Amino acid sequence: MITLWELKGKGDRCYSLFSWRTRMALKHKGLEFESHPVAMSDKAAIAFSGGKTVPIIKDGEVVVRDSWRIAEHLEDKYADRPTLFGGAIGRGVTQTFNTWVDRALVPAVMPVIVADVHERVDPADDAYFRQQFEGFLKCTLEESRARRPQALERLNRTLEPVHTALKRQPFICGTAPAYADYILFSVFQWMRVTSSQDIFNSSDPLYGWRDRILDLYDGFARNIPTA
């Protein structure tokens, strides 16, 4: 059994963006896991990992931290199970996509939903979260709410390349989903779990794609507490 440390939200919400990459990767590999939710501010609970962020997994005696390193661990250790990357070239391209999502898409989504996320964090994290994210955004959470229209415009511009790609193929990885799909999906799952704003209309290629991911593994990602 693999243990996964992830963030604990209000009402058992699994709202940790990066942990959704690991959750989907574990399902893709057909691996059972036990979730261990922790408050974002409780660094003592995850000190064993040598770092300050989740996801972290413990697989037997091995502890792995950072969603990308966890994906590589799962791909290498469980090489006989469905592949996450599709070989060495796919691994390289997927890592590049991971960087684009983290550096371009996550900063575009954050100002749209951060005030909603704040309402759904564990009460113990209220002040920590505010301090952390007001630092990233360089404005208050309340100001971020007022600036949403501009933030949404930026988000739509950022999403344009994936919109175009998903008109041509059903998944980011082509005909079937794999890790790059889960990287992108983690961002929309973060939104879904923490905010009642829905940025898609049902005719968007991204909407159909998200639905296909939500259906995977018997609706694993669909059937959880959301906003």
Ligand X SMILES: N[C@@H](CCC(=O)N[C@@H](CS)C(=O)NCC(=O)O)C(=O)O
In the complex, which residues of this chain contact ligand X (CB under 6 A)?
7, 16-18, 40, 52-55, 66-68, 132
Q: Is the CB of 25 or the CB of 115 nearer to ligand X?
A: 25
Query: CA 23, CA 1: separation in Å to the nearest integer?
Result: 14
Q: Is the CB of 38 or the CB of 166 nearer to ligand X?
A: 38
CB of 22 to ligand X, least distance (A): 8
Q: Is the CB of 10 or the CB of 163 nearer to ligand X?
A: 10
- The DSSP result for 107-140, as a single string, is HHHHHHHHHHHHTTB-GGGHHHHHHHHHHHHTS-
DSSP letter assigned to residue 189 = H
Structure tokens at 214: 């939500």
Q: Is the CB of 96 or the CB of 169 nearer to ligand X?
A: 96
Of 224, 199, 55, nearest in space to 113 by CA: 199
CB of 7 to ligand X, least distance (A): 5
Query: CA 224, CA 108: separation in Å to the nearest integer?
Result: 25
Maximum Cα–Cα distance across the chain: 50
CB of 204 to ligand X, least distance (A): 25
| Single-letter code of the amino acid located at 154 | R
CB of 42 to ligand X, least distance (A): 10
CB of 201 to ligand X, least distance (A): 27
Strand partners, 6: 37
CB of 135 to ligand X, least distance (A): 10
Structure tokens at 195: 């905010």
Q: Is the CB of 166 or the CB of 188 nearer to ligand X?
A: 188
Q: Is the CB of 54 or the CB of 151 nearer to ligand X?
A: 54
Query: CA 10, CA 27: separation in Å to the nearest integer?
Result: 24
| Single-letter code of the amino acid located at 203 | S
Q: Which residues have C-beta within 8 Å of that of residue 21, sequence separation ≥ 6?
A: 55, 67, 70, 71, 179, 182, 183, 186
CB of 111 to ligand X, least distance (A): 16
Q: Is the CB of 37 or the CB of 86 nearer to ligand X?
A: 37
